[in-house]
Amino acid sequence: MAKPAFKPGTAVRVRDLPVKGHMRTPGYIRGRRGRIEVLQGFFPNPEQLAYGAKGLPPVPLYLVRFPQSEIWPGYGSTGDSLALDIFEHWLEPAET
């Protein structure tokens, strides 16, 4: 199994990949910045499982936490956050 690319606390940005078909990264989170909270584990890739393939090798899945103010314009600085499970290929390192 490959080594996970990101450690907890790392700043990441969600990529806007041109994936057509099934994916598990919602539109509203693309391009947004968050921090890796924890590696959830390695899982077969659902983008391939959806088309009858085995989705192997398993890909790292992270819990990523985003400030709500980073996602929604005009949210205000309440300190609220949103945590989402995101597969590694949807993430890139972000400037902090």
What is the contact surface with another protein in residues (CB under 8 A)? 21-22, 26-28, 46-47, 49-52, 55, 71-72
Q: How far is the CB of 27 from another protein (least distance, A)?
A: 4
State which residue, 47 or 88, has the beta carbon closest to another protein.
47
85's CB contacts (< 8 A; 6+ apart) are: 24, 40, 61, 62, 63, 64
As a residue count, the chain comes to 96
Say which residues have a Cβ less than 8 Å from residue 9's Cβ, sequence separation at least 6. Answer: 35, 36
Q: Which is nearer to another protein, 41 or 93 (CB)?
A: 41
Q: Toward another protein, which CB reaches closer, 35 or 45?
A: 45
